[in-house]
Amino acid sequence: MGVMKWMMKRGALGGIARSTARNYTSAKARLPNASVEELYEVCIRLRYGNRPDQIAMHIEVMMDGVSAGGFGLLNLCHNFARWEMNINGIEYDVEEVLRETLIDEGVSSAEIKPPLFG
């Protein structure tokens, strides 16, 4: 692992993936009958609890992605990073760091979902 990737994984980008994974895993344990959309919404509400405008925006983006059939925790993390870190493009290193961190936190590949990068 290169220095840049290591810094990304240990820094804000990795922190976004770690907190999202932990919130998702916790919500899944507490709400075993919840749909995936409901679990994503819990993650969004926990992250932006005091910002209703951001909650509404992220829920709308998430629902659009889910209805298109290609949305997972990787997408949710990337949307958080785009908003909080001003990451505009989908770079391979960003996807790789998010994916590896989610896996390190115990999220399954099926829950991470589709690749963002070509």
pLDDT tens, residue by residue, 34-70? 998 899 999 999 998 888 888 888 888 888 777 666 7
pLDDT value at residue 25: 96
pLDDT tens, residue by residue, 3-25? 878 888 889 999 999 999 999 99
Residue 33 covered by a domain: yes
Residue 117 covered by a domain: no
Domain residue limits at 68: 3-112
Residue 92 covered by a domain: yes
Residue 118 covered by a domain: no
Q: Above 60 in pLDDT, residue 117?
A: no
Residue 97 covered by a domain: yes
Q: What is the mean pLDDT of residues 74-100?
A: 83
Q: What is the mean pLDDT of residues 82-104?
A: 84
pLDDT value at residue 50: 83
Q: Which amino acid is at 7?
A: M
Domain count, the chain: 1
Q: Comparing C-alpha atoms, which of 110, 115, 101 is closest to residue 20?
A: 101
Residues 6+ apart with CB under 8 A from 36: 66
